[in-house]
Amino acid sequence: MLEASSLAYRYGKQHPWLFNELDLRITPGEIVGVSGPSGRGKSTLAKVLAGYLPPGKGSVMIDGRPLPASGHCPVQLLFQHPELAVNPRWKISKILREAEEPTPVILQTLGIESAWLDRYPHELSGGELQRVCLARALGSSTRYLLCDEITSMLDALTQVHIWRVVLNLARSRRLGVLVISHDKTLIARLCSRNITCLEGAAALS
């Protein structure tokens, strides 16, 4: 279980808490939504849960233990803009091998073509690059995916394809998934429950 207890974060003492006293639990195979207006801490919450940022208060645990300080993290974060999450000087083949080389099944499922492997990130579309980032995140030790507006900039067909893959993998591999989105319809369609991020707090629904 991925568990956050009494979690809080703010960008410096002079700023208000983006969220405070937030408790969150995601079990294997569960899909949970996070919604709310811009600037209410949704992306920051994801970064804290994935270990990118240390919590201001509280803790993040996986099966009762802190997130690992080094090596592959079982909680993987996918960003809205995949071009900012990759090294622009690396070819796609090297990006895919950054953590653990994806299996041929994963590459085929995501529609990653062999011709892409010798290209650089700027030579792929946003949807193609997001698929690459998803494949990179799906190492054998990955247990939770945090999806931060990962399809908001993509065309409708690519959105459907990516979410279908994520849902199928969540079922087959018992992955816990956090879906961060402004799209309440998407949240309602994908998720069993929702967290609404409000200024300085979070409400469960």
This prediction's pTM: 0.90
**pLDDT tier, 38 (very low <50, low <70, confident <90, very high otherwise):** confident
**pLDDT tier, 19 (very low <50, low <70, confident <90, very high otherwise):** confident
Domain containing 170 equals 2-204
For residues 188 and 41, give the distance between their C-alpha atoms in angstroms, rounded to a whole number.
20
Q: H-type helices in 36-155, by residue range?
A: 42-49, 92-96, 104-109, 126-137
Q: State mean pLDDT over 142-148.
A: 96
Q: Above 70 in pLDDT, residue 203?
A: no
Which of the two residues, 121 and 196, has the higher pLDDT score? 121
CATH number at residue 130: 3.40.50.300
Q: State mean pLDDT over 118-142.
A: 94
Q: State mean pLDDT over 156-160.
A: 88
pLDDT tens column, 78-112: 999 999 999 999 999 999 998 888 899 999 999 99
Among 54, 49, 4, 46, CA closest to 25: 4
How many domains does the chain contain in total?
1
Q: Tell me the CA distances in angstroms from 152 to 126, 137, 174, 177, 182, one per residue in order.
A: 11, 19, 25, 17, 9
Q: State mean pLDDT over 162-180.
A: 93
**pLDDT tier, 205 (very low <50, low <70, confident <90, very high otherwise):** very low
For residues 140 and 106, give the distance between their C-alpha atoms in angstroms, rounded to a whole number.
11
End-to-end Cα spacing for the chain: 20
Using DSSP bridges, classify how beta strands 193-198 and 201-204 pair: parallel, antiparallel or unpaired: antiparallel
Least confident of 61-65, 157-161, 163-167, 193-197: 193-197
Q: What is the pLDDT of residue 40?
A: 74
Among 190, 192, 175, 202, CA closest to 48: 202
Q: State mean pLDDT over 7-26.
A: 90
Q: What is the mean pLDDT of the chain?
A: 89
Q: What is the pLDDT of residue 197?
A: 63
